[in-house]
Amino acid sequence: MKRPEKDAGPTTGAMSTEGTTGGDPQALADLGWRTFFTAQIADETEAELIPVRVMAVNRNGLLVSGAAVETTVPPYLSIEGSETAQATVGDWLLVDPDTMRPERLLSRLSLFKRWAPGKGRMVQLIAANIDTLFVVTSCNLDFNVARLERYLAVAREADVTPVIVLTKADLVDDVAPFVETAAKLMPGLEVEVLDARDPESARRLLPWCSHGRTVAFVGSSGVGKSTLINSLIGSERAATRGIRENDDKGQHTTTRRELYRLSSGGWLLDTPGMRELQLTNVKEGLGRVFAEITDLAKSCRFTDCQHGDEPDCAVRAAIAAGEMDAERLERWRKLVAEEAENSESLSMARQRPARRSTARPPRIREDTDED
């Protein structure tokens, strides 16, 4: 199926919502609705349904918001056995206005998921319809290009635009080498550098956090994510503290994952799953991050060239000519190997349990509090 065009750019202003009857178009646009979703409404019957966004996944249902609607609806379960069979936080659903049952899950702009081994668990959905992933690292000890490339690959695999955020700019004499190194890690990559403690400097992230846009943060502990999030959430900062305190004490929380409103009109998706993004099944993402290697490899003599000692290797020729960094190739090699090993060990772990009938759809499981 051909996907409708996504709306482009971080600073896109008003988003069209014509074609829905789910209430005030502006209220829907505020929640992140855009033409990509409108275009999926098939017919008049579907136009009668109410579009709602999943704000949190609870044990007993989905907390959803729409235009003048905020309620809990039963879990969405489709008969199709695929990753579209369940709704996750950030998803858009069409619900029946009379029964308030979810009737349809709309195609996603992006999807973070992870593969889990054992007990028939396969795909765990983490979050849908995130526009921007802020990959946070500090301009000091935490700065590690291979780790950044790993996050970038996971973001690109999920169809999310990553933005590198370099914090602790105040602790180094010269930020230029960090910015320069980071910017080269992926074609078109944007890099922001700031002191996360300064609320004025956190404003640098606002272009991605405008009305209806959804963002998430990843990065090692202590790099400044919470500090930045508190600046962006503004008056609603207590909400974030709330989940953190609950998580830290391991308390049972009914809404473990949620979308938070940012003072700029955007949404922050902050979930434990986001903080544990893994390098599995991200072959395509790696190809996009290391686009120059993927491109050069097309000119290697052998289609399966490993860019080692094969003759007529275009990648090694580029390194010899000083057009490419040998260390970059080395990191690519390691990440590809790591990705293959992780993905392989997961698929082995999945095959180990007694085989089920092939007629049965793959099981999809949300990550719940037992994890």
Task: Tell me how far CA of residue 27 lies from CA of 61, 212, 234, 366, in angstroms.
Answer: 23, 9, 21, 28
Closest residue (Cβ) to ligand GTP?
224
Which listed residue (121, 197, 203, 350) binds ligand GTP by CB under 6 A?
197
Q: Toward Zn ion, which CB reaches closer, 150 or 307?
A: 307
170 is a site residue for ligand GTP (CB under 6 A): yes
Q: Does 224 bind ligand GTP (CB under 6 A)?
A: yes
User: Which of the stretches 51-59, 163-171, 180-188, 341-349 binds ligand GTP when contact is defined by CB under 6 A?
Assistant: 163-171
Q: Is 222 in the site for ligand GTP (CB under 6 A)?
A: yes
Q: Determine the distance from the C-alpha atom of residue 340 to the mean position of all C-alpha atoms in its chain, rounded to a whole number.
A: 21
Rounded CA-CA distance 101/351 in Å is: 35
Distance (Å, whole) CA 105 – CA 86: 8
Of residues 49 and 313, the one with the C-beta less far from Zn ion: 313
Annotated binding-site residues for GTP read 167-170, 219-227
B/e letters for 281-291, b = 16+ CB within 10 Å, e = fewer, are bbeebbbbbbe
Q: Which of 31, 268, 293, 305 binds Zn ion (CB under 5 A)?
A: 305
State yes or no: residue 293 binds ligand GTP (CB under 6 A): no
Which of ligand GTP, Zn ion, none interacts with 215 (beta carbon under 5 to 8 A by kind)? none
Q: Please identify, among the stretches 12-20, 38-46, 98-106, 298-306, the one whose residues bind Zn ion according to the rule CB under 5 A.
A: 298-306
224 binds, among ligand GTP, Zn ion, none (CB under 5 to 8 A by kind): ligand GTP
Residue 363 structure tokens: 């099981």
Least gap, CB of 321 to Zn ion (angstroms): 14
Strands 190-193 and 161-167: parallel
| HEC profile of 291-322 | HHHHHHHCCCCCCCCCCCCCCCCHHHHHHHCC
Nearer to ligand GTP, 108 or 257 (CB): 257
For residue 117, the minimal CB distance to ligand GTP (Å) is: 26
The one among 83, 195, 310, 338 contacting ligand GTP by CB under 6 A: 195
Give CA–CA dist 205/260, Å, rounded: 16
Contacting ligand GTP within 171-190 (CB under 6 A):
171
- Output the CA angle 9-282-338, nearest 5 degrees: 135
141-160: which residues touch ligand GTP (CB under 6 A)? none
Q: Which two tokens stand for residue 354?
A: 């007694």
Query: Taking the alpha carbons of 148, 135, 366, 284 in that order, is the dihedral positive or negative?
Result: negative
CB of 205 to ligand GTP, least distance (A): 13
Q: Using CA atoms, how far apart are residues 104 and 41, in angstroms rounded to an integer?
A: 10
CB of 305 to Zn ion, least distance (A): 3
Nearer to Zn ion, 244 or 301 (CB): 301
Q: Does 227 bind ligand GTP (CB under 6 A)?
A: yes
Nearer to ligand GTP, 275 or 331 (CB): 275
H/E element, 249: none
Q: Which stretch binds ligand GTP (CB under 6 A): 150-158, 181-189, 219-227, 315-323?
A: 219-227
Contacts with ligand GTP by CB under 6 A: the residue count is: 15
Largest CA distance in the chain: 68
Q: Is 219 exposed, middle or buried (0-12, 13-18, 19+ CB in 10 A)?
A: buried
The CA distance from 325 to 311, in Å, is 19
The site for Zn ion, by CB under 5 A, has a size of 5
Is 226 one of the binding residues for ligand GTP (CB under 6 A)?
yes
34 is an interface residue for Zn ion by CB under 5 A: no
Across 331-357, b (16+ Cβ under 10 Å) vs e yields: bbeebbebbeebbeebeeebeeeeeee
- Residue 221 found at the interface with ligand GTP (CB under 6 A): yes
358 CB neighbour count, 10 Å cutoff: 6
According to CB under 6 A, which residues from 50 to 109 bind ligand GTP? none
List interacting residues with ligand GTP (CB under 6 A): 167-168, 170-171, 195-197, 219, 221-227
